[in-house]
Structure 1
Amino acid sequence: MSRRGKSTFRRMNALVLGLVTVAAGAVVPLVVVGGASTADAALRKRVDTDYTLLRRAPRSYVIGTAYRDWTVDVHGEQDAGYRWARVHGDLNSCLWIYSGALSGDAAQADSCGAAATMPVEQFTNGQIGGSDTDGASVATVAGANCATWDGSHIRGYGNVRPWEVPSAPSAPVDGQVAVGQTVQWRYVSRDGQWVMVRDPRAGDTEGVGQQGWYFIPRDCLPAQLPS
């Protein structure tokens, strides 16, 4: 990837949150932004960065992570730099992925159908923190199910399938957040077991090195979450 491409990638992927925060309990219809699928509408690509964040819509909430060399079948045209795609790896789900993190162009049959936005209530339990640009700051705690990877730093996960009940954690992240340190929390998964957070210590490393957005157990945060 060129220097200019990397810079664009960091800027685009830094826009982690939705343009509009949806109030808890609001009914959000499934938004279709593409046409009907065709037999050979997809291209098979692979992730060629350390990781790339997956979203419910272009430039919207992060709902997972794809990692280097994962296979991705993209469909349709770009939308704000993102592609509707079937993400393989440990997900095998149709989500939005940043186009600049992908390479390859082998023809592949369409397996996702029309592009869509995942409703907020489909992947959260209604608890949403922060603003359109970041999560809300909160100190971590040593709850019953808050595991660490080295005795002090919280074990996170790149994926938990927050839209499923029960959720299914995968892709462990050995984060830099020690118990007692703060994170920026964004939302609680639909089953109430996980929280999407941003680790301020990760810095501006979108796509390279330690990822800053990932899931941690709900028990790693206090019972009352600040808004």
Structure 2
Amino acid sequence: MTTESDITPSAADKHHPMLKLALELGPLLIFFFANLRGPWLVEKFPVLASLGGPLFVATALFMAATVISLTISKIVLKHLPVMPFVSGVVVLIFGSLSIYLQDETFIKMKPTIINALFGLTLLAGLLFGKSLLGYVFNAAFQLDAEGWRKLTVRWGLFFLFLAVLNEIVWRNFSDDTWVAFKVWGTMPITILFTLAQMPLIMKHTIAPEGEAGQ
């Protein structure tokens, strides 16, 4: 099984940019729609009633959409992006626990677990002198050691911030608010954070060896 960076585009990614976007956003949109229209879905498909309330129905459809998305990605794009793959594994584990135990806590804590895992992994790598972000994104950016260190620290802290933010939202607001935030809040925040890193990336970018002497 081949996994690749989410930032490093393969040849297939370049030929199917909209498909790649749809595969990454599709499961989240299905999750949002299913939670919003849970009673309607149960009315149209009574078998879904056995899953429980709207959030459990949404979780089951989210799991199915995630498996379909990863399968299409493997077949068409020829690889599995690292973050969607890891997220997909956690979705299947925690989603199954949520439905089996009829406990919404597991699926609500999924973003916390994933973001904390990524954040702690990046920061722990620095303790051993490894900028792990550089290993993942090296094909997309060529930065000096200081640039990778700073970028790794920022992304590590940002992932931990998202983990804490998810805990605050799901523990203090309604299910509908949490689902809406998961779909419409987390992504804009991540995009803005990514754009904010461009000055650092530009400052620490080094020219490829073939262009160094030009």
Structure index of larger Rg: 2
Q: TM-score of the superposition, structure 2-length normalised?
A: 0.28
Q: TM-score of the superposition, structure 1-length normalised?
A: 0.26
Q: Which has the higher strand share?
A: 1
Q: Which has the higher helix share?
A: 2
